[in-house]
Amino acid sequence: MADDGSDAIALTQAPGSHTLPKWSPDGSRIVFTSSRNGQTEIYTMKVDGTNPTRLTDDPRSDTMPAWSPDGERIVWAAERAGGGTPNFEIFTMKVDGTDIQQLTTNDALDFSADRSPGGGSIVFSSDRDGAQEMTIYKMRADGSRKQLLADRPGVGITGDDTAG
């Protein structure tokens, strides 16, 4: 066996940046962010780099994708207008790019979302509390029951954990 990167193979060949890759739960696909068409969008591809498929198409940034545990949906952060000022909100969609749902809507920066192992909850970072630092929130996978989990290093805030 070759040395943990000596046999590295580039999976993306298109111009632009290709970042934030995540394996699908079944290991058959990779979701990633790419600027290959001049705007930052969410794509999937087979693990050998073939069949790149664009899932989002918006002139503003779509980034930080993550899979649901069952591989049926993708959650991501998208730059959208909030209170007249562009900011990032949390969205989810089916893996074919359909059934897009916006889960957060506010003037704050919401980003870096991920699904819980059971799939019932999403955690994300936000500056929605007005502080100069990011905080961690949890919500149900449908965007309901948002709750603050931690608001500064070393201090945790507990709450109802029934969303899974």
pLDDT in tens, 98-141: 999 999 988 888 999 999 999 899 999 998 876 667 889 999 99
Nearest partner of 144 among 116, 118, 163, judged by Cα = 163
pLDDT in tens, 10-44: 777 777 788 899 999 999 999 999 998 889 999 99
Residue 157 lies in a domain: no
What CATH number is given to the structural domain containing 103? 2.120.10.30
Which residues, 6 or more positions from 21, have their beta carbon under 8 angstroms from its beta carbon? 30, 31, 32
Q: How many domains does the chain have?
A: 1
Q: Supply the range of the domain harboring residue 140.
A: 18-151
Which residues, 6 or more positions from 159, have their beta carbon under 8 angstroms from its beta carbon? 138, 147, 148, 149
Assess whether pLDDT exceeds 90 at residue 77.
yes
- List Cα–Cα distances, 11 to 37, 55, 144, 154, in angstroms: 17, 18, 37, 39
